[in-house]
Amino acid sequence: MPRSFLFLQGVSSPFFTRLGARLRQDGHRVAKVNFTGGDAFYWRGGGATSYRRPADSLPDFYEALFDRIDHCTDVVMFGDCRPVHAAVITGARRRGKRIHVFEEGYFRPYWVTLERGGVNAASSLPKDPVWFRSVGPSIPHYRNGQAFDSSFFVRAWHDFQYHIWSAWNPVLYPGYRTHAPYSAAKEYLGFIRRGATFWWRTRDDERRINDLLASGDTFYILPLQLDSDAQIRLHSPFEGMEEVLSIVMKSFALHAPSGAKLVVKNHPLDPGMLAYGRIIKQLEKRYDIVGRTLYVESGHLPTLLDHTRGVVTVNSTVGGSALVHKRPTVTLADPIYNLPGLTFQGELDEFWSNSVPPDMRLFQYFRNTVIHTTQVNGGFYSSSGIEMAVANSVASLCAEKSPLETLL
């Protein structure tokens, strides 16, 4: 039966426009709400409503919108934590709308996430290893997905265009307030500063990592997440990554083996708003571990994971990669892969000396089930990735039950 989809805010790319066009082609109705100039620039599908009022009026706006388009059956969004999305979820559920949430993939780089109801901390994936052991044997085995062209510069160009058009927000969308803690201009300046020394730092990081591997020293990895990420700000007990660094380095100083080292790797998309190198040096002195940490801006993560004693993360997808590499992993929040048998279930202080590798059979069941029920092969930014993501999303969007709902 034809359905009626209401699109909210998407990624900074043509993905939502092309997905909407495909749904229309298949006979479904499609409408859109634009909240910024960037939203309007990237939506070429027609049927758009512009929301220009303050955020505290959003619940009433959505109620009136649903009254006006009572045939709406489905709501589609990217991320469920943005203020413009959080305001709709309760009302949409009460009215029986199906909520489809896209997000970056749980297993990257060739998968994106599509779940009903919510993602990450709001995911409907069970946190019971027994359930994964029971359904896992009947799930197909998934590899890394079909590859497609992907470029940082394409993603950066889309982001730049989105924010150029969003510069008109004070005039065209005066009520909009971004969910990001920094303005786009500040982030771009940060990227420029970081990029100016990135080539030199990459060579220096490679040399220091090679020296570490050649030494045979025991080391642990702490992958940094974006300080602005909702995974940190909303789905963890921490205010930011500086607090995470302090807690992990203190625990490392007190409880890690005396000869061990801690590798702190920055996020590849970090805009350089925090001087992590200086912060880490200060914490080294505070906790008397000078010379026992290695901070890198770059580095081949799979190589590091192959040789590390263990990984400490808040809720990064790097934790899933660590499990792929059979590395002991401890999480400081509660990501979807934080299950008994996969991650260390004790306190951080105990992890340094008492960690054990994951149960790889359970992990294979977990990975195959997560991909089967929540992942779409494709991407959000390159033309080939978008084409794949659109083609592979339609069946799940239009099905009466999602693959996960069917299993549950």
Summarize the confidence of residues 309-319 as an average pLDDT.
97
Tokens of 85: 């999305």
Query: pTM (2 decimals)?
Result: 0.93
Beta strands in 17-161 (DSSP E): 29-34, 48-50, 74-78, 98-104, 111-116
- Per-chain mean pLDDT for the chain: 93
Quote the Cα angle for 47-389-7, to 5°. 25
- 283 pLDDT exceeds 80? yes
Which domains, from first to last, does the chain contain? 4-153+365-407 (3.40.50), 189-338 (3.40.50.720)
Beta-carbon contacts of 385 under 8 Å, excluding residues fewer than 6 positions away, are 148, 149, 150, 378, 379
| pLDDT band, very low/low/confident/very high, at 70 (cuts 50, 70, 90) | low
Give the pLDDT mean for 346-375: 97
What's the gap between Cα 15 and its chain centre? 17
Percent of the chain with pLDDT over 90: 80
Q: Which residues are 296's β-sheet partners?
A: 265
pLDDT in tens, 209-226: 999 999 999 999 999 999
